[in-house]
């Protein structure tokens, strides 16, 4: 389980590990992990902020997350940087998922 308050803390501190966990959970909502606290709007804001914070991150995305992003964007991604860019480019799709799954 990931708490929105923890995501805010990771954003403030720049904790890459926490940001990566949050990115995976938000992108694959509600399948990857439960996200506690907040509203769908809070989750959307968190996804946007986390995606921006991961720009430039060359760590490799787990295959499941990369495939999920590819399925939504038709853009092959291998790193968090590429995944974050793809999510931001198709943000409306991912934001809608965060709302509809509530």
User: What is the spatial distance between Cα 91 and Cα 33, in angstroms, rounded to a whole number?
Assistant: 20
Number of domains in the chain: 1
pTM: 0.91
Residue 70, domain extent: 2-100
Residues with Cβ within 8 Å of residue 29, at least 6 apart in sequence = 35, 43, 97, 98, 101
Residue 10 confidence (pLDDT):
96
Q: pLDDT tens track of the chain, all 102 residues?
A: 889 999 999 999 999 999 999 999 999 887 766 788 878 899 999 999 999 999 999 999 999 999 999 999 999 999 999 999 999 999 999 999 888 655
DSSP H helices, the chain, are 4-13, 16-27, 40-53, 63-73, 80-89, 91-100
């Amino acid at each position: 389980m990931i708490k929105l308050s923890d995501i805010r803390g990771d954003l403030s501190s720049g904790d890459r590990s926490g940001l990566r966990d949050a990115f995976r959970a938000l992108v694959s909502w509600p399948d990857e992990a439960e996200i506690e606290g907040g509203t769908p709007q809070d989750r959307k804001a968190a996804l946007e902020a986390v995606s921006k914070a991961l720009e430039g991150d060359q760590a490799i995305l787990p295959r499941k997350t990369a495939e999920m992003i590819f399925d939504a964007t038709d853009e092959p991604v291998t790193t968090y940087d590429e995944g974050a860019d793809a999510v931001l480019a198709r943000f409306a799709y991912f934001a809608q998922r965060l709302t509809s799954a509530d």
